[in-house]
Structure 1
Amino acid sequence: MCRHLAYAGPATALRDVLTEPPHALYRQSWAPRMQRYGTVNADGFGVGWYAPGDPVPARYRRRGPIWADPSFADLARVVRTGALLAAVRDATESGADGEAAAAPFASGPWLFSHNGALTGWPGSAAGLASGLPAHELLQLEARCDSALVWALVLHRLREGDSLGQALVDTVTELHAAAPGSRLNLLLTDGVSVAATAWGDTLWYSAGPAGGTVVASEPYDDDPCWAEVPDRTLLFADRTDVLLTPLKEPAP
């Protein structure tokens, strides 16, 4: 389900990362090459990006397919940024959430996306939701599983966890409550990127001149792309990438 991507590096136009590469996220909305679940990503899309001097990112999200929004092409042509997170959402059963269910989710300096699904949703999430303060539950943007996953991550960030620790602890909690869930999570604060490979594909490309890209799948055939092993935490900045194996919690 879904495809997502984060970038941190020298300032570049959105289109250089999201629309112009031969297998960019734009094309992945209808022709992903490595997507294991779902076939077309047409139930919404979004991009969040950071402007110089402002730690709070801007977002552009829509409920329809990215190819049906000519305004996005104009936006991608002129907006430049040194950090972004974008996603296209897999076609799912109809619901009322619309744009609110499209990643990236955001709060303060953070942008977040979830590629995957919680098994047994929504019943499997009852215990997870009960552990959150009531006011945080009431702030959920949507009623989908990804919105709850974001609420769990955000709660940990607000408690002082680092990007990577917030993802690891959330994945551990989710796996215990809903075994078999696919939990590829992507998180950035505009400086660093953290991600988990847990049940679906994740790749990265890093270089001292070109910045770092973390994505569900490569957007071109450059040999610099490397696949992240399943059950792994990735932490990256503009030049370096660190991979840490994750142990599956004991039952």
Structure 2
Amino acid sequence: MIKLNWTYHLGRLLLWMLLALLLGLWAGHWLLVPSIFLAGYVAWQLFNGFRLHRWLQSWDTEPPESIGMWAEIFEGIASLQKLNRKRSRQYQQVIDDFTGMTDAFPDATLVIDRHDIINWFNDSAVRLLDLKAPADRGQTVTNLIRDPAFSDWLAVQDKLTSTLDITCPGDDNIILQLSAVHFGKDQRMLILRNVTDVRNLERMRRDLVANVSHELRTPLTVMLGYLEVLKSQPEEASGEAI
């Protein structure tokens, strides 16, 4: 914030006005001399205002040289600009670090607003969902992931938290697991994880259990049949049969 010693500058102005008035009285033109001084003062202010405007419109980092109050204004604005540039670099570094971190995620990540508009997505989303930056930013996510189950799942995520498996829009052989995280003001982060290998292992486990159960069921059924027959025979006959 620019702080000016207004009392000091106002005192200087009044002193110059008094000197101009005294000079006018001495010269016999008590009104003309102060008027010329005021006209010059206004012209000086307009000139410095024009310089300030031109400087702010340019990319020049060095402030114009001046004296008095305007020197303090120029130096104060230059200090604020320097501080803002430093903060901008710091904020940009934070953004770059965050972007690099999220781009390293193997999971596709999208940020959408309450209207399901895509605000941001990482590189994994580009690979898995075939998104294009920046063209697909600002698009409705349901227009890019055209799956009725996804639309129904997304509509109820404000009330409950659950996961959903869908096929990858660009490859039917890839299975993606969807989850949503709420953050900020009416924003959601959609995380899509490639669970194809996990689902394939689960399917193989189910198939293995089903096959083993089928293979064991037949001999067990035969053995149970023999046991039922033996139980129905008299004890002596059962002993001979064994």
Which TM bucket (shorter chain)?
Answer: under 0.3
TM-score of the two chains, using structure 2 as the length reference = 0.25
More relative contact order, 1 or 2 (CA 8 Å, 6+ apart): 1
Larger radius of gyration: 2
More strand by share: 1
TM-score of the two chains, using structure 1 as the length reference = 0.25
